[in-house]
Amino acid sequence: MELTASYRYVDENNNLVFTKHRYEGIEDGKRKKTFRIEPKLDESTPRPLYNLPEVIASDTVVFVEGCKDVETLRSMGFCGTTTFAGSSGLWMADYSRYLTNKNVVIIPDNDSPGRKYAETIKSGLAGYAKSVKVVNL
């Protein structure tokens, strides 16, 4: 497996919490990806939203299912974010406060975990976000 990207998760003051490394390669004839976290996380380690300082500074935030997609959005001039483990990540109550009075767009993957992810985010933002739109592709 080859290291293809490293994603820095930082707190609201831009202090590094951990780095998520993405590895990709071919195993048994199939394209695979895996992730490693440094330093290793324990139960007390915060799991901030990816790209948190930009999320805090933006009026409109787009949720997608992974850091790679966030970086694609950023390269197009949008503020993107994702939870720690994408569609399998839990919504933490702390996330809602960072999205208070913001316009939120959710672009889930077109599968069952993606739809569940979108509903989890939408539910977590009820009463916090200015608006929430789910865009199904």
pLDDT tens-digit series, residues 36-47: 999 999 989 999
Other beta carbons within 10 angstroms of residue 32's beta carbon come to 11
Q: What is the pLDDT of residues 98-115, one digit of tens each?
A: 999 999 999 999 999 999
Give residue 86's pLDDT. 80
Give residue 67's pLDDT. 95
Q: Rounded to two decimals, what is the model's pTM?
A: 0.91
- Provide the token pair at 9: 């998760």
- Compute the half-sphere exposure of residue 49: CA atoms within 13 Å on the CB side of its CA: 27
Range of lowest pLDDT (57-61, 92-96, 103-107): 92-96
| Nearest one of 92, 93, 103, 95 to 62, comparing CA atoms | 103
C-alpha angle with apex 104: 115 to 101, nearest 5 degrees?
Answer: 140
Has residue 89 got a pLDDT over 80? no
